[in-house]
Structure 1
Amino acid sequence: MKNILTLLLFIVSIHCSAQDQKDEVMAVINQVFEAMRTNDSTLLKQSFTDNPNTFTAYINQEGKSILATGDFQRFVNAVGQPKEQVWNEPIWNEKVEIDGNLAQVWVDYAFYIDDQFSHCGVDAFHLINQDGAWKIFHLVDTRRRSDCVIPDDID
């Protein structure tokens, strides 16, 4: 009986530890969207490694698949620009996978400028845990203006 209780406690502690790590990873992801909403480029940069790779995958008007390389500093500058509109990117269907110091996160999103819908897609993040802190080193998103299935509770 004692061995079974020890085993159960061990399993529970592993599960709790894994959930804690997933919560830590998602806190970094959510920080990106908070930075976008509040025009806080400092908060945004804190979420990323020094030289992250960013990309956008989309289908152009001719139906060709495109992978466009992003410019992280341009993104930082755009987020930090004072603006009257709020950039809001609610997310849902979060999928977090972790192995050691590597994590990946896949989320559906819709992007709004104030209350005006702009586009939707998927954000795919890769993060590294260095010195006890998760940081994004790779981000690719998809973008489309149609075929968006956005949950009713997403504003």
Structure 2
Amino acid sequence: MKKIIIPITLCFWFCNGLYAQSNSEEEAVLAVVEQLFEGMRAGDSSMVHTVFYDEVELYTTLTNKEGKPVLHKGSLQGFLDAVGSPHDVVWDEPIWDTEIRIDGNLAQVWTKYAFYAGDKFSHCGVDAFHLFKSEVGWKIFHLTDTREWKNCDIPADVKKKHKDKP
């Protein structure tokens, strides 16, 4: 009996340790994404800038007025300028249904979002982040989002935080 219990116990400790390590990496990756959104809410472009790798690509996919798909390339500086420019309302981008995948020093975050300017709904979609773990920690090196202005399935708890509903 001892021959069976000892290997099972060791396997449990080992597997539990791997899960805890993986879980802490997921938390570290998610903390970077959350810091981006906290910086947006605060209008703090310096805080936002710290989550990005030196070289970063930003894209938005959307459908134009003619119904054709468009891939728009943005710039980090343009994004930072927009976040840091004075605006009368808080930019809030709540997220949900977040999936995180990690392999070594590469992480991917896929999450649904809704964007609000103050209490006014603007758009919704999906954010797709790619992050690299360097010597200083996880940094975003690629971000693509989709944008929809109607037919958004936003959870009730997210809608509750804002007066204006999509």
Normalised-by-shorter TM-score class: over 0.9
Structure showing greater Rg? 2
Aligned to 2:33: 29
Identity of aligned residues (%): 46
Q: Residues 2-151 of structure 1 correspond to what in structure 2 (within 5 A)?
A: 2-151=6-155
The two structures have a TM-score, normalised by structure 1, of 0.98
Gaps of 5+ in 1: none
Q: Runs of 4+ in structure 1 displaced over 3 angstroms? A: none
Task: Give the superposition deviation at 1:84.
Answer: 1.8
Task: Give the superposition deviation at 1:81.
Answer: 1.3
Q: What SS does structure 2 have at the residue aligned with 1:98?
A: strand
Gaps of 5+ in 2: 162-166
1:41, 1:121 → 2: CA distance? Answer: 23
1:51, 1:115 → 2: CA distance? Answer: 33
2:88, 2:98 → 1: CA distance? Answer: 29
Amino acid of the structure 2 residue aligned with 1:93:
D
The two structures have a TM-score, normalised by structure 2, of 0.91
Deviations 1:28-53 (A, max 9, x none): 00000000000111110110001210
CA RMSD in angstroms comes to: 0.8
Q: What SS does structure 1 have at the residue aligned with 2:156?
A: coil
